[in-house]
Amino acid sequence: MLATWLALQPGVGRAEPDTGATFVGQASCRACHAVEADHWSPTVHARLAQRPRNELERLGCEGCHGRGSEHLKDPSNPQLILAFTRESGTSVEAMNGMCLECHAGGPRIHWNGSAHERQSLACSDCHNPMSKQSPRRLLAKQTVAQTCFTCHPAQRAQFRKRSHMPLLEGKISCSDCHQPHGSSTDPLLRGDTVNQLCYTCHAEKRGPYLWEHAPVIESCLNCHHPHGSNHQGLLIAPAPFLCNQCHDQPGGFGHPNDLLVRGNLADGDFPDGRILNRGCVNCHAQIHGSNHPSGARFHR
């Protein structure tokens, strides 16, 4: 019964302009657009058209581009066919509406009102369904990262810093952490919080621990740059200065609030472990939280 009811649900509204045109069939399109058809043929959309589940998929080219009869009469008039490029003059809303006819919902349920939608981005800014340019997802460029860097060049530079996630090494992609089609968490994150997202790969940091470090459980970004940093471990500043930002506990003997300078380096007159090697976490090794009954200061 559920399946029957679901099957009776109408599709999401079609955004095709009303030009009074009729369908002409895929063969007519191919007659002129042989190169485009050739590039399109290995794509997932072409496979779908080979075994359509509904009338829309059976339409092939016109399933996305709309009825072609008027375009056939006057091919130079861009208003008579729905195209997805800048020069077509088609509104972004109309372009996206056509894509969402099949792709609404699911991972795109938050598209409406999302950061990219508000910036008037079209689906075809990031995707090129006419060619299999990327191994998956019909991206406009070969990788997710290349696609994102088009508008986010600063992130490309960050991933080139000394300490970075293995994105340029092909082991993760922007879309592992970000949902470009909208999310209930800024900035387009796949998790409910930054930490929930980070724990996806760093599950050992999830705890919960007996002894927690307050800024750690609230946001990993309090101490880490997620895209890249000049410091070890994606830290926003090197130890001990990172820790000095929040800690000024007196020990009576200068720990941890004395200023460490050149003379405290390994070749200085008074080497100090807090500025050497791993800095403060030489001792506070469990800075993300400790499950040791004696780990109140993250030493164990």
Partner 1 sequence: MKRPAAVLVALVTAAGPALAQAAPGNTLNPSGGNTTRVTDERGLSDLLSIRRRSPAGFLYPDPLVPDRLSDLAGGWRYGGSLEFGGLWTTGNDDETRFSEFTDWSDGAFLEFFDLTIEHPESGFYADANGGSAGRDDQYYYGKIGLPGLVDFEASFSGVPHLFAGDATNIYEGSGSGVLRLPEPLVPGDNGDAEIVGVLETTPESSLKLQRDRSQLSLEFHPVTALTLFARYSFDDRSGERPFGGSLIFDSGGEPERVVETTEPRDSHTHNFTGGAWFRSSMLLANFEFQGSLFRNQDSTLTWDNPFLLASFNGAQNVKRGRFALAPDNHWYNVKGDVSVVLPWKGRLTTTASWSRARQDADLIPPTVNTGLVGFPGFNGVNLDEWNTEAALSRSHADAQVDTLLLNARLDLRPLDALRLRAGVRYYDQQNDTRYTARNPSTGQFGYIAEDGALNVFDLSRVFVPGVESDDFRYRSSPFDYRKLDYEINADYQLLGRTTLSGRYRREQIYRDEREREKTRENQARVGLTSRDVRWATLRASYEYRDREGAPYEYFPNRKDYVSSLPGYVPFLEFLGGETPPFTLAQLRQYDIADRERHEAKLSANFLPRDDLDLSLATRFVDQDYGASYGLEGERWGNVDFELGFQPSPVVQTYVFGHFEARHRELASINDAFVFPPSSDPNAGGTVFPLDNSWMLHTDEVSWGVGTGIRLQAVSHIVLDVNYLFVQTEEEYDFDIAGPGALGTGLTAAQDLPNLRTRNHLLQSSIRFSIIERASLRLFYRFERSTIRDFSQRNLVPEEVLLSSGALFLGHIDRNFDVHVIGLTLQIHL
Site for partner 1 in 51-110 (CB under 8 A): 51-54, 57, 84-87, 90, 92, 95, 104-107, 109-110
Total residue length of the chain:
300
Q: How far is the CB of 90 from partner 1 (least distance, A)?
A: 8
In this structure, the number of other CB atoms found within 10 A of the CB of residue 109 comes to 13
Per the DSSP assignment, residues forming a β-bridge with 141 are none
The tokens describing 117, both together, are: 């939608």
31 binds partner 1 (CB under 8 A): no
* Binder among 82, 148, 217, 220 for partner 1 (CB under 8 A): 217
* Binder among 44, 60, 74, 99 for partner 1 (CB under 8 A): 44
Residues 245-274 binding partner 1 (CB under 8 A) are 245-255, 257-267, 269-274
Kindly tell me which of 19 and 146 has the beta carbon lying closer to partner 1: 146
> Which string of DSSP letters, residue by residue, matches 155-218?
HHHHTTSSEE-TTTTTS--HHHHB-TT--SSTTTBSSSSHHHHHHHH-GGG----SB--HHHHH
Give kind and range of the element (H or E) at residue 58: helix 55-58
Please give the Cα distance from 71 to 79 (Å, whole number).
8
Kindly tell me which of 16 and 36 has the beta carbon lying closer to partner 1: 36
Q: How far is the CB of 280 from partner 1 (least distance, A)?
A: 10
Of the candidates 132, 55, 50, 42, the one whose C-alpha atom is nearest the C-alpha of residue 101 is: 55
- The CA-to-CA distance between both ends of the chain, in Å, stands at 58
Question: Which distant-in-sequence residues (6+ apart) come within 8 Å of 230 by Cβ?
Answer: 161, 162, 163
Site string for partner 1, 165-204 (x = CB under 8 A): -x-xxxxxx-xx-------xx------xx--x--xxx-xx
Residues 102-161 binding partner 1 (CB under 8 A) are 104-107, 109-110, 112-113, 118-122, 124-126, 128, 130-136, 140-146, 150-151, 153-154, 156-157, 160-161
Q: How far is the CB of 21 from partner 1 (least distance, A)?
A: 19
Kindly tell me which of 25 and 266 has the beta carbon lying closer to partner 1: 266
